[in-house]
Structure 1
Amino acid sequence: MYNGPEHYLDKDATAGRVMAHARLLLKLSRRFEAVAPAGLRHSAHVANYKLGTIIIHADNGAVAAKIRQLSQRLSNELSKGGTECSDIEVKVQPRQIPSQTISSTQKPLSANAFCTLQTTAENLPEGPLRSALDNLLKRAAKREESPDAQ
């Protein structure tokens, strides 16, 4: 008979408490999505539950302010789901979106800079600095040769 990971996690006392808390958070998250206004459902989520206080992470300050305004109503609605909710704590915690990461753009070396670095590299003794300059010059030369660099 197949026993999934939940079966083994529920058997251990410590892991069982963690699993019970995870199930509670999942239940509260679903309840929050059901009772929160449509505009806030996708901009905030239940982060934790401690001693009757639900911690909600909002994507920005405007959403956090609106949830704080609605906190009493949300608290009452969430309590109807069977979990005691005496308070709601709201924190601004923007979600990390992969497309928002800033990638560095490579700047081409000017002809003057290329010549100066090349002369400097030729006059240096063998070592890590010369090796680094040679690598830089090779990469700069490859970029100038590639047709998509323009």
Structure 2
Amino acid sequence: MPQRLKSLMSNNEELRVLFGTVQALTALQQHFSRVAPPHFAQSSQILGLRNGTLSIAMSNGALAAKLRQLAPEIVTKLQNRGCEISSIRVKVQVNYTPIKPKPVARLLTQTAQHQLLELSEHLGDTPLKHALEKLAQK
């Protein structure tokens, strides 16, 4: 964190409290992402923690229902990680857009490239031939 921002945070009580809350929610989101099934972590957002109850927004009702079923197990896992949580409250927020994972670049093997080029040699001068040659070069 840049030095100016740190000094601003330390000089302003309201910002210091807000920053502490943001850090706590970020840590809870990370803990939740590690203990919950992957599809839950991608479709959820930690809303807050009050009196030991963790509030979580889910992107759809089906996942929310499944999370409610798994809540006792997730609470135990979070407690084992040092989180002071006694229950989970699940809300459905349909307009919540889950974080989309970054696409992973996939490369063809040398064998696949060779086979695509071989196939393209048996084709006439067609768009399919050009598409296969282009794909083999990636």
Count of aligned pairs: 96
Q: Is the 8 A contact 1:71 1:88 kept in 2?
A: yes
Q: Which position in structure 2 is the counterpart of 1:57? A: 57
Q: Which position in structure 2 is the counterpart of 1:38? A: 38
Superposition CA RMSD, Å: 1.7
Cα pair distance change 1:51/1:10, threshold 3 Å: farther
Shift of 1:36: 0.5
Q: Which position in structure 1 is the counterpart of 2:7? A: 7
Query: 1:68-87 counterparts in 2 under 5 A?
Result: 68-87=68-87
Q: Is the 8 A contact 2:46 2:57 kept in 1?
A: yes
Percent pairwise identity: 29
Cα pair distance change 1:75/1:6, threshold 3 Å: farther
Report the secondary structure of 2:3's partner residue.
Answer: coil
Query: Structure 2: which 5+ residue stretches go unaligned?
Result: 98-138
Q: Is the 8 A contact 1:44 1:63 kept in 2?
A: no
Shift of 1:34: 0.5
Query: 1:125-140 counterparts in 2 under 5 A?
Result: none
Measured in 1, the distance between the counterparts of 2:68 and 2:58 equals 10
Query: 1:98-117 counterparts in 2 under 5 A?
Result: none
Q: Is the 8 A contact 2:75 2:88 kept in 1?
A: yes
Moved over 4 A (4+): none
What is the CA deviation profile of residues 52-91 of structure 1, one whole-angstrom value per residue up to 9, with x for unaligned ones? Answer: 1111000010010011001111111112232200110000
* Larger-gyration structure (1/2): 1
Shift of 1:11: 3.1
TM-score (norm 2): 0.63
Query: Structure 1: which 5+ residue stretches go unaligned?
Result: 98-150
Measured in 2, the distance between the counterparts of 1:27 and 1:68 equals 21
Shift of 1:10: 3.2
Cα pair distance change 1:96/1:83, threshold 3 Å: closer
